[in-house]
Each structure stands twice: as structure tokens, then as C-alpha cells.
Amino acid sequence: MNVLSLFDGMSCGQQALERVGIKVDNYFASEIDKYAIQIAEKNYPNTKHLGDVTQISKFWTENKFPKIDLLIGGSPCQSFSYAGNQLAFDDSRGKLFFEYVKIKDLLKPKYFLLENVRMKQEYVDIISEYLGVEPIEINSALVSAQNRKRLYWTNIPNVTQPKDKKILLKDVLECGCVDRDKAYCLDAHYFKGGNLKVYFEKYRRQLVFDRCLQVGEADVNGHDIIKRVYSKEGKAPSLNSMNGGNREPKVCCGGAIVGRRLDDKGIRKDEQLDLPIVQCLEVNDKEKSRSLSTVTKDTVVTPLPKGRYPDAYGKYEDLWRKLTPLECERLQTVKDNYTEGVSNSQRYKMLGNGWTVDVIAHILKGINV
């Protein structure tokens, strides 16, 4: 099979073809990012790079190339995304979609596949009209630990929703714990990071929490150490040889943050954000509710209600980290260490721009070779 990949990036397409067992005779790639090209060449040295997508039509007509069986690509999404200005085809990046159409019409491949983000229906309709097919929406969460909803236009037959592999975010971590089952969608700017306030209030750019997390104190007699209650999502504290007497590690079995803001008269006024939090953790254990004693330190990393506890964010900056490049590779179902060889910022960028390989492999299974 001869394949032409437009906007090839780090060659997720080759990984998908390899994964589904399709033999590729020639893989032609159009890409201009030097770091993505470097990673593609490291992993697939036989890739035939053709450069700028706007020159492919001219280049193809002036040279002899084999018949293309499969055309794949994901034109730049920034101009269509709800997260951007949605200039669509008025944006220079959005106009690159028409290069895909031009090349498709020129080469007339047996199969084609175009990927892009969810967008306004009017843009979906325009793309569908040019390609002659309606898209299928697939969430990468079915095959990975990442929520990533994308549209796929293709004439490959029998494309259905993938079977849910039930992969959780905690399954792909090198270490640490997380506050949700699926990661937020990776983007090309993940490496720029953020902080807890951005994470909890804007709900983006997944964070990982790296230590055993104390979430309260139990109302028992004894040393401070035996009063500590830990989150079940963290690592357990070290066991000791002194059994009984409330010395065993205590784990919070589920519950909700019910912080209180009290004025100088002890009256609860949660709406007054300038008041300090006097924290209590209500824990539900075996359908019974009990309150842990009031604690003055809020070592809590579960999502805080939006706008309710802004003074808590700055206290726990040492608790969290970004996903590692290896963990991001696993979110995109890319082979471990596939992107090694460039800086971490470039690894994050190309992974955010890339495809979820197992979704593409699922679609390509419909090809009759």
C-alpha cells in the first residue's frame, strides 16, 4: 500500500498502520515542523518527506510517483476549535483544508481519512460537502485515558465506535495519584503548565499529585501522627510495627469537602471569600456519616468548588506536577519513549498536536488490502 500523509506531524499514521498490520510499500509525508520530522525519521527512517503541503500538488504533477491508495491527514484545528477565535476558513491555517481537498481530487486515492476537532455545524457541513461524507465523532476515552473528542471524515467502510477498553488515568501514570478517571484533552501548549487555580477553575491541563495526601485529622487520643487521615488516592504512609491503639494508617473512604467560613462571632458565611476557611471533612463510610475534627490546615487536593476557596490554592504548590512526556505518550496510545530525542516542550507540543493512535488504527481496520 502507498500512503500519503498530509500534516503528518510525528507520523502517528505510520504507528496506526503498523498496529493494524497493514503493509506499507511507500509512506510519503508532508510536514514542516523540524522536530516532528526528526522524531518521525528516528522511528521510521524510510519515510519520504515532501515538505510544505501547499507545494505537494505542483511537486506531484512534475514528478513520477506511485498510485496513492490511502490519503490521511488532520489539517490545523486552531481556526475551527471552540477554544480559539473560530475564524475557520478566513484563517490562513483553516484554509489549509482546501489543500487536502485539492490533493485528494488530484490523486483520487481509494481511501481517505481527515481528522479535526469538534466545531460549529456550519463548518462541519462545508467540510462534509467537499469530501462527500459525513464525519463520525469518536472520543479517545474509549481506547485511552484521555477525553479527546474528534471528528473523522472517511470513506473507509464499516467504521463504528471502538469498544471501551476501560483504561483509567491512574493506569498510565509513572507514579502519583489523580483526581479523575480520564485526563483532560492534551493540547499543543500543555508544556506551558499552569497552577492549581487554573487547573481547578478552568478545568484544563491535567495535573498529577505526587505524595501521600493528608485530608484531615481523626478524633482519637494520642500523638498527632495517629490522628492523620489520608486520601485513598495517595500512597500509603510507612507501616510501623505498633499495632492497635489507633496506630494503623487511616484512609478517607470517600466524602466531600465541606469547608466553613466563620466570622469573628462564629457564624458561618461561606459567601464572604475574605474570611479564612475553618475546614471539616465529612466522610461517608459504609453509608454512615461522621465528621473529622476541625483542622486548621487544608491539605486537600480534590477539586474545590469553583470560586469558593481561592485562598487554598497557593498552599499546595509542592503537591502537584504535570504529566510526564511518557504519560502523555500513553494518553495518545503512542509507543513508550517514541518522542525521545527532542526537548520536553517539543515532545508535549507534538503529542498535543498528534492523533490517538489506537483510534486511527480502529478506523483503518476497515481497509481491504
CB distance 339 to 329 below 8 Å: yes
Distance CA 270, CA 257 (A): 13
Confirm whether 77 is a catalytic residue: yes
**Residue 75: CA count within 13 A, CB half-sphere:** 25
Amino acid letter, 95: K
Distance CA 141, CA 190 (A): 18
Distance CA 128, CA 133 (A): 5
Q: In which region does residue 200 sit, left (phi positive, over 0), alpha (psi from -120 to 50) or beta (all else)? A: alpha
Residues 6 or more apart in contact with residue 294 via CB below 8 angstroms: 278, 279, 280
Residue 268 in grid coordinates: 458561618
Among candidate residues 12, 77, 177, 185, the one labeled active-site is: 77
**Residue that has been written with the C-alpha cell 481561592 in this structure:** 310
Residue 109 in grid coordinates: 486515492
What residues are paired with 28 via a beta bridge? 4, 48
- List Cα–Cα distances, 212 to 178, 244, 323, in angstroms: 12, 22, 18
Q: H or E segment at 58? A: helix 56-62
Residues 6 or more apart in contact with residue 122 via CB below 8 angstroms: none
CB atoms within 10 A of CB 44: 17
Residues 6 or more apart in contact with residue 259 via CB below 8 angstroms: 270, 277, 278, 279, 280, 298, 308, 309
Residues 6 or more apart in contact with residue 187 via CB below 8 angstroms: 83, 204, 205, 352
**Which residues are known to be catalytic?**
77
